[in-house]
Chain A
Amino acid sequence: MTTFSRRSFLEASAAASALAALGGMPGVRQAMAATVAGGEKWVKSVCRYCGTGCGLFIGVKDGKVFAVKGDKDNHNAGFLCLKGFLLPQILTAPDRCLHPLVRKEGKLVRASWEEAMSLVASKFKEAIEKHGPDSVAFYGSGQGLTEETYCANKLFKAGIRTNNVEGNPRLCMASAVAGYVTTYGKDEPMGLYEDIDHADVILLIGSNTAEAHPIVFQRVVRRKETGRGVKVIVLDPRFTPTSRIADLHISFTPGNDLAILNAMAHVLVKEGMVDEGFIAKHVAFGEGTEVNKGFEDYKAFLAEYTPEKAAAIAGCRPEDIVTAARWFGERGKAATSMWTMGLNQRTKGVWANNLVHNLHLITGKIGTPGNTPFSLTGQPNACGGVRDGGALSHLLPYGRLVANDVHRAEMEKLWGVPEGTLKPKPGLSTVDMFRALEAGDIKCMYIMCTNPGQSLPNVNRYRKAMERADAFVVVAEAFHPTRTSELADVVLPAALWAEKEGVYGCAERRYQLLEQAIPPAGEARPDFAILCDLAARLGHGKLLPFKTPADVWAEILTICKGTVYDFSGMTRERLKEAHGLLWPLPTQGHPGTKRRYVKGDDPMVPADHPDRILFYGRPDKKAVVWLRPQRPPEEVPDTEFPFFLTTGREIEHWHTATMTRNCKELANTNLESMAQLHPNDAKKLGVRAGQSVRLTSRRGSQVFRVKVTDNSKEGVVFIHMHDPDRMCNVLTIDAVDPVSRQPEFKVCGVRVEKA
């Protein structure tokens, strides 16, 4: 088998990226020539991987996908990372799930669709009849298409009548959601990728952008190269590839960045770099959950967060905090901040998000080109499908809440179900849902397009729950085996990416249509079709009467109308023509909204509003600066577990690697999770590169080979999340943020011993 070193991979990625900028890789150029000669078609689509949402074209010949090329007219300007270029390989992967499987006598065996669906329907019916609607649950994904997630949400909440609807965005971005909602009253970023092109200061915090969002990073690099005096600040415990371009990298002990962010605000206030006029007009102040403070209270709160004190807490240099604040706050300089899992996957994740927003609000650096707080997203449709579509246990579509009487009544009317159909109590959030499965309270779970058997924190606990004899687990998935499908009672083969049609919504509110390019492989069916089938079998066929995903989209346009998301002008026809459209977009003639809350851009802001900005998400039309104190993570090292464990991503792989491990150039590159140790720690432990160590946390134990690198901070072990055979989540903690219910994957204590 060909081995592909990391260096080879990086060189290939670099070459692919540069060649793409010239118009395509050699293979793509050849393919394009063939298009002319052979009449092959290029189908407009979106990358299947991260939340950047790169537009691309899928090349189809003889009914097979043979290449992709970047869409030059999309935000990615034709660029794709190597993972994107290799997408065609996932469609023909040897572990594609091509027919239904049903567990018999302990083994998953081939079954017909009729047998599998009859079993699923009968088990769900039985559980609902015997134990009530809340004995079943749906666990979806930020990778499902919007129409699919919408169908599942409607079936479970309005049909079955349970709010036990969750999805893996709870694991990756729930704190960002709660951060936006608590600060502005509404979810989702107000800016867009284009802000990078205008930024003079780019603050990257809790984001290894270079590896997790390579095309966004490329835009940052381009801005740094072409802009005059552009500064990049990276706050990350590790010296990642992202840090390579930093003008200032602040490394700190994991979980202590709240102190740093408050200290930056301290410097901004102390040195007069705040915009008092903006604050007076547009900002309110709050503590806890009450908006009952003033600017003077905030100043008093910040007084104790001197750079020196914060540096002592966080293990960094006070002068670096001062420098970061001064660069961020310099008048006339535009500041963009971007973050992702490093802030979100924390028990103080919502607070950390609030503190980033605080920096923008007190300086007024928001809502103009280059000035924006921008949460990056991990999955391609976590925003469009799950967040916006309201497919979490406390949400209803497009900003509506389960617990809000008016919102429920509105949705009951829109969905044509009797008053009182929707239950007022939010369902269980992800960790609680799997705990209910463990406790036997949830009898049946339908898992769609994701891999919780690998991606949940403290994963072995919940793997045991999925294995319970009295738990019936259905997995609709394009691949088998995965670490989840191996535990299932029924596996339903799902169509994948180019094999189906639907909408993805990426991190910048850009919705894009993925057109079907080829038929589904084997007996696979689109999740849309599977869910409609299930609805009919459960007696809820009238709720999902759709023949095509376009029918679903037509209904969705009526659901979003009149909300702050309003994209009712985003018809299927416009989506087919456009290279992505940004909401709000309330009429067919509307061009879409670059910057929310901004007069002249956001249609929700009245044209005669006296100010340039209107934070209409809250009743007082102001955004909130929250007084959030420094608090440590849930679990910090002690004598028994003396190291920090932090987890993350590598450029070659994505999520639980069900797709990337199926690309030959990636399969042998860095898939193995290794314990990345600082040289001094390796020396103290008496281990060398390549030797094995056993990592033990309060939850589990796992052996990893050692990688020695001074990219790691002393006392911190890093392991990536992709490896299905050496799962970092055996060790991670399942403590959650009390507001967002997002688990703290990023920080826990471990013991490291030579194995």
Chain B
Amino acid sequence: MLIAGVVIETLPGRAPQVALRLTSRAGVRVEGGDGDRRLAVVVSAPSGGELERWAEELVRDDEAVLGVFPTYVGEDGGQ
């Protein structure tokens, strides 16, 4: 499982609304935000491809989201 930290950039003033919508998504945890246009989010995805697809879909489907910027990628390997 891939675990990534991302910053989501939104339209000004729309970060709280986007955060609310994100909380209903599986594998997504909102860690904080600036209350205006940026959110810090942790995302879990089965692969890098899935993570990229998630980011692409978010930008495409949520008109308030301007961009998704990874800040960290780690892998929770099997044991």
Interface residues of A (CB under 8 A from B): 6-7, 10-11, 13-23, 26, 79, 81, 210, 214, 217-218, 221-222, 225-226, 241, 244-245, 651, 689-690, 707-711
A18-B48 in contact given A26-B32, A708-B78, A709-B77 (Cβ < 8 Å): no
**B16 is an interface residue with CB less than 8 A from chain A:** no
Name which residue of chain B comes closest to A23, CB basis.
B34
A18-B2 in contact given A79-B71, A245-B73, A708-B79 (Cβ < 8 Å): no
From A13, A244, A709, B72 is in contact (CB under 8 Å) with A13
Name which residue of chain A comes closest to B43, CB basis.
A14
For B3, the chain A residues whose CB sits under 8 A away are: 7, 10-11, 14
For B31, the chain A residues whose CB sits under 8 A away are: 15, 18-19
Q: List 19 A-B contacts (CB under 8 A).
A: A6-B76, A11-B29, A18-B6, A19-B31, A19-B40, A20-B71, A21-B7, A21-B38, A21-B71, A22-B7, A22-B34, A22-B39, A23-B34, A210-B75, A218-B70, A221-B70, A241-B73, A708-B79, A711-B77
For A21, the chain B residues whose CB sits under 8 A away are: 7, 38, 40, 69, 71
How distant is the Cα of A485 from the Cα of B51 in the complex, in angstroms?
A: 46
**B47 is an interface residue with CB less than 8 A from chain A:** yes
From A14, A225, A245, B5 is in contact (CB under 8 Å) with A14
A210-B73 in contact given A15-B40, A18-B40, A18-B41 (Cβ < 8 Å): yes
From B47, B48, B72, B79, A17 is in contact (CB under 8 Å) with B72
**B4 is an interface residue with CB less than 8 A from chain A:** yes
A241-B75 in contact given A14-B3, A15-B31, A22-B33 (Cβ < 8 Å): yes
How distant is the Cα of A217 from the Cα of B33 in the complex, in angstroms?
A: 24
How distant is the Cα of A244 from the Cα of B74 in the complex, in angstroms?
A: 9
Number of interface residues of B (CB under 8 A): 35
18 further contact pairs, Cβ within 8 A, besides A26-B32, A708-B78? A6-B76, A11-B29, A13-B72, A14-B42, A16-B5, A17-B72, A18-B7, A19-B40, A22-B32, A210-B74, A214-B72, A226-B69, A241-B73, A244-B75, A689-B79, A707-B79, A708-B79, A709-B79
Name which residue of chain A comes closest to B6, CB basis.
A18
Name which residue of chain B comes closest to A246, CB basis.
B48
How distant is the Cα of A453 from the Cα of B32 in the complex, in angstroms?
A: 44
For A26, the chain B residues whose CB sits under 8 A away are: 32
- The answer to whether B71 and A17 touch across the interface, beta carbons within 8 angstroms, is yes
Name which residue of chain B comes closest to A707, CB basis.
B79
For A17, the chain B residues whose CB sits under 8 A away are: 5, 71-72
For A13, the chain B residues whose CB sits under 8 A away are: 5, 72, 74
- The answer to whether A10 and B71 touch across the interface, beta carbons within 8 angstroms, is no
- The answer to whether A18 and B79 touch across the interface, beta carbons within 8 angstroms, is no
**Closest approach, in angstroms, between the C-beta of B71 and any C-beta of chain A?**
4
Most chain B beta-carbon neighbours within 10 Å: one of A23, A225, A651, A707: A225
How distant is the Cα of A671 from the Cα of B52 in the complex, in angstroms?
A: 31
Interface of A is mostly: helix
How distant is the Cα of A578 from the Cα of B12 in the complex, in angstroms?
A: 32
Name which residue of chain A comes closest to B41, CB basis.
A18
For B69, the chain A residues whose CB sits under 8 A away are: 21, 222, 225-226
- The answer to whether A218 and B71 touch across the interface, beta carbons within 8 angstroms, is yes
How distant is the Cα of A26 from the Cα of B71 in the complex, in angstroms?
A: 17
For B1, the chain A residues whose CB sits under 8 A away are: 7
For B6, the chain A residues whose CB sits under 8 A away are: 18
For B29, the chain A residues whose CB sits under 8 A away are: 11, 15
How distant is the Cα of A19 from the Cα of B39 in the complex, in angstroms?
A: 8
Name which residue of chain B comes closest to A226, CB basis.
B69
For B4, the chain A residues whose CB sits under 8 A away are: 14
From A10, A20, A708, B75 is in contact (CB under 8 Å) with A10
- The answer to whether A241 and B74 touch across the interface, beta carbons within 8 angstroms, is yes
**Closest approach, in angstroms, between the C-beta of A222 and any C-beta of chain B?**
7
How distant is the Cα of A727 from the Cα of B76 in the complex, in angstroms?
A: 24
Name which residue of chain A comes closest to B55, CB basis.
A225
- The answer to whether B42 and A18 touch across the interface, beta carbons within 8 angstroms, is yes
Name which residue of chain B comes closest to A241, CB basis.
B75
- The answer to whether B5 and A15 touch across the interface, beta carbons within 8 angstroms, is yes
**Closest approach, in angstroms, between the C-beta of B78 and any C-beta of chain A?**
5
For A221, the chain B residues whose CB sits under 8 A away are: 70, 73
For A6, the chain B residues whose CB sits under 8 A away are: 76-77
How distant is the Cα of A23 from the Cα of B38 in the complex, in angstroms?
A: 11
For B78, the chain A residues whose CB sits under 8 A away are: 708-710
**Closest approach, in angstroms, between the C-beta of B58 and any C-beta of chain A?**
13
Name which residue of chain B comes closest to A15, CB basis.
B31
**Closest approach, in angstroms, between the C-beta of A84 and any C-beta of chain B?**
12
For A217, the chain B residues whose CB sits under 8 A away are: 73
How distant is the Cα of A303 from the Cα of B75 in the complex, in angstroms?
A: 40
**Closest approach, in angstroms, between the C-beta of B36 and any C-beta of chain A?**
10
Name which residue of chain A comes closest to B3, CB basis.
A10
From B7, B33, B74, A10 is in contact (CB under 8 Å) with B74
**Closest approach, in angstroms, between the C-beta of B74 and any C-beta of chain A?**
4
How distant is the Cα of A47 from the Cα of B77 in the complex, in angstroms?
A: 27
How distant is the Cα of A16 from the Cα of B40 in the complex, in angstroms?
A: 9
**Closest approach, in angstroms, between the C-beta of B61 and any C-beta of chain A?**
18
How distant is the Cα of A710 from the Cα of B52 in the complex, in angstroms?
A: 23
- The answer to whether B70 and A225 touch across the interface, beta carbons within 8 angstroms, is yes
- The answer to whether A14 and B7 touch across the interface, beta carbons within 8 angstroms, is no
A245-B48 in contact given A11-B3, A15-B31, A218-B70 (Cβ < 8 Å): yes
For A709, the chain B residues whose CB sits under 8 A away are: 77-79
